Amino acid sequence: MIAARQRWLKGLGLLALAVALTLGFLAYLRPAFMVDLTNMVLAWCG
């Protein structure tokens, strides 16, 4: 049970890292994309 939970958390961590790296790469390629994304997040948060 504990091993399965650790595996699941590790997979979730790797997924979060992949998302962060993808967003960073897109921000490098298209800075305007990151500005739009930031504005969307800020608008959604309030």
What pLDDT shows up at residue 1? 80
Task: Give me the DSSP letters along 12-34.
Answer: HHHHHHHHHHHHHHHHHH-HHHH
Contacts of 7 (CB under 8 A, 6+ apart): none
**What pLDDT does residue 30 have?**
87
- Could you state, in chain order, the average pLDDT of each consecutive group of 10 residues for the chain (46 residues)? 89 95 88 88 90
Domains of the chain, by residue range, sit at 2-45
Q: What is the pTM of this model?
A: 0.63
pLDDT at 33: 82
Q: What pLDDT, on the 0 to 100 scale, is given for residue 46? A: 77
pLDDT at 12: 94
Quick check: 45 and 34 in contact, CB under 8 A?
no
